[in-house]
Amino acid sequence: MLKVILFDLDGTLYTSSEVYQKFAEAAYHTYAKLKKTTVEKAKEVLERRRKEMKKERGYEVPYTLALLSVGISIEEWHKENINFFNPGDLLKKNELLKIILSKLKEKYKLAVFTNNNRIQTERILKALGIERLFDYIFTYESYKLIKPNPEVFKKIIKELKIKPEECLMVGDRYHFDLLPAQEQEMKIYEVKGPDDISELLNIL
Ligand SMILES: [Mg+2]
């Protein structure tokens, strides 16, 4: 029996090319600042790393991994992106999503499970108007681990005190959100943004 629905944040509970663009700019800015170079050079390095990593792995990687691969820690990256911009300024309330999540909440516990940091996550949830709907919010700070590391999935299952099969992972990135969840015997559901979440009301 399903008990908890875990939602990825970026690309799942909202989609926004403006926010993605700002995260990219924040990554360039972070590299430029910490490696003492120009933003143009930073962009060139990070986009080249992402291209190489995509080729190696067969799927696109987020800036977090590109930055890690050039020696910039997640803590440094998060500190810089928090100061660089507030994604909440670029997002609007999503009343329909709020209604759908409220309905799901009548039957299940709801959780956010994101590689993003606590401050950006709270800013985003507040801007969407859904900050009160989650029973749990797992961010990078929760375990200092990021998806797709299987350990973070195991730790969450343990924390929730449930069996993996009582958990549904909803996300937009197969290799980060869904494949590792499936490997832990969790149920999975792929979306391309919040509009696809309404379908859960029909299938659960
Ligand atoms: Mg995502």
In the reported structure, the alpha carbon of residue 99 is separated from the centroid of ligand 1 by a whole-number distance in angstroms of 21
In the reported structure, the alpha carbon of residue 12 is separated from the centroid of ligand 1 by a whole-number distance in angstroms of 6
Q: What integer pLDDT is reported at residue 138 of this predicted model?
A: 98
Q: What integer pLDDT is reported at residue 15 of this predicted model?
A: 98
Q: What is the pTM of this model?
A: 0.97
DSSP state of 161: T
d(CA 176, CA 111): 17
Selection from 47, 73, 60 nearest residue 144 by Cα = 73
In the reported structure, the alpha carbon of residue 20 is separated from the centroid of ligand 1 by a whole-number distance in angstroms of 11
What is the mean pLDDT, run by run of 10 residues, along the chain of 204 residues? 98 98 98 98 98 97 97 98 98 98 98 98 98 98 97 98 98 98 98 97 94
